[in-house]
Structure 1
Amino acid sequence: MEVEGARNSIATLEDLVNEGTQVTICLRYSAEHWELLLPRVDSGGIVRFPEKDRYKSATTDTSTTSKYYSLSGRQMKIAVKGLMLTVTLGTTYPDGSVEVVSGAEGFLLKTLSSTLNFTFQAFLPKDQLWGNLLPDGSVTGIIGMVARREAHVAISALAMSESREKVTDFAWIFQNYPSLLISRSPKEKNKALSALSPFQLKVWLFLIVSVLSMGPFVYTISYLVNRYLTYDAQNDIQWYAFNMFRIIVNQGIFIRERSWPIRAILSFYLIFCIVFSVDFKRLEKYVIGILAFLTD
């Protein structure tokens, strides 16, 4: 746009442009001299092209972000629908507005208000609905308040849908967790002992003691049985200890006994080993993963 006649054109444009319209005016004085005029909405809701938001060609910093950190004390109309932990509402005032007391999005609205320098009034929808686009073209709820420009923004736990996006724009999605379980972060364990982590220390100690003691114990019982009940000749202690170890690692047993005391002891020991092997197989993949990590 040439400078001549631009002033009147800008004044006319300010009367025609609605909020939300993206307009940038470029005033050209010459090939090397020009100005950019960016729109701002004043505290009364009127679109203006203020002098302070003009950028000359000689200016090196053309960032517009800092220009919009303040809304100049403008009053915003907010459409709300109360929801526990999201937006908690309080007193209803004579003008129809309602007090925003607390809630995740209520605190967010108050923080934005103080940071961006604006005030707000919250209003409930007359139909008390979240809102949607109806087949006849009308829009209900807080979505309808925004679509009809009765409110600038709607806040609540709104779900995005295709029909709602036809009449409104949604902000960035964020997740609100009203309740969280927080625990202390785990410390890194000694890698040299990671292979023992499937069971507690007392379980490993009990297992080691049982394996080491079962061989001598069965040998002692076998010795007494063969001495007083005259069964077959007993095996030596190394043979019993070796077979007790074979049982715990699920490799079977080579002991052949006819005496009922030895068979009873071996039966209980076999049941113990079966229970242990079932639990160990359940953790087998975990143990293999630990060993693979240690050898990586």
Structure 2
Amino acid sequence: MRELQVRSNVLESPTIQWFVITDENLTEELPSLLREGTQVALVQRTTDQKALLFSSRVDPDGQLRLHKVGSWSASGFWHPSSQQEKSELVPNLQEYYSDFQGRQLVVTTNDNWPFFKIKTLENGTIVAISGIDLSVINAVSEKLNFTYRLITPPDGRWGGPQPNNTITGLVGQVARHEAHATLCELFITVSRESVVDFTVPYYLGSATLVSPAPKEKNRSFAIFSTFTVDVWLCICVFTALAGPLLYKVTRFLVLYVGEQDIADYSLQSFSFNVYRNLMVQGNLITSHRWSLRFIFFSWYLFCFYIYALYSGTLTAVLAIRAFEKPIDSLHEFPQARQNGFSFGAVRDSSYADVLKSAKSGIYREVWQLFDHDNEDKSLLPSPDVGIEMVLKEKYVFINCQLNTMLQAARWGPDKFYIGHQTFLPQGCGIACSSGSPYKGAFSKAGVQTLGPV
């Protein structure tokens, strides 16, 4: 019964150091109950006066075993084993994992150029080709003296905790101890940190918006593009009212003031003359009365300004290529939706996680604009698919700024518009299993090799 209690305690906390005393021979059975990072010291009593001392170690082959480190006698003397004279009963993990002694670790990643480009051979072996994160893991492995074997998650996601208590993607494989570590443009988030441990960030990045390059505006109606609809409406209203105003003033002067020397112009004559003035065709109506002259002067001045602004703006429109308004910020999403744009991000990415978990504000508004009836259109499997969506249709993709710029350079910068506004600054780190001793070793090696972030 005592043996079962020991096993239960060891499994509950992977980071607590234990000192186990038992009469049972657990030197062969106990390692199967432990996982790396759990440090156990075992005292095996051989006689009433003596006991053998064992400590858990991870051998270069990756197996966790109990190694004899010495013996103890009732007189209180410690006798270290000849091969373990310099080792402690419970070793310092930071020192112990400063050299992995050529061990092979399992690292999970996704095919995600330019961070981790991989190729799967016919026999199923995954080969690393190039990438930023490939350089990171190579530098760390050289510093800590280990090799690695690559695997990929079955679902191809970056992953994290889900509402149904499952853990998807890269994060899930590490959390379930199917892999020792993962790195693949994996941003550190609160939800992910609840199931895995992250090293110190080795790269800081922000999100940006990528959309199709704005198309050139159609010049078929360039003569009307000089003014806005409101300005054109005001010009039409004033032109329609100027003629009747002049006619009413002349009628008033003739009928009520007695100005008989005023020519009896009709409403049609005034209206047509006002239109002639606007078209810079000269004036056919004259008057000696200052009331009419003031109205004519005001109208001439109005026509002069309209003509000057129109001709100058039209020259600029015809001389300079005009493009559609690009999408620069999240606040422009509602208008973009009205213009037929769709929106998306990588499924289970840190950006999708932030938008989904937002309770209010612009992030919540953006999340509501996603296509929740067809989530496969808004939540994409990889950045490559997002870039392809931008090339095929009116689509705005939320992605890491560095990834977006490199992808745009790959496909052709003239095909994309990258928003000037960045948001959601986050750090990328190497994810390790909770309680794993790799976290400290990877962090230290990364800082020493790559420098502080």
Q: Which is strand-richer, 1 or 2?
A: 2
User: Structure 2-normalised TM-score?
Assistant: 0.32
Larger Rg: 1
Flag the structure with more relative contact order, 1 or 2, with Cα contacts below 8 A and sequence separation at least 6. Answer: 2
User: Structure 1-normalised TM-score?
Assistant: 0.47
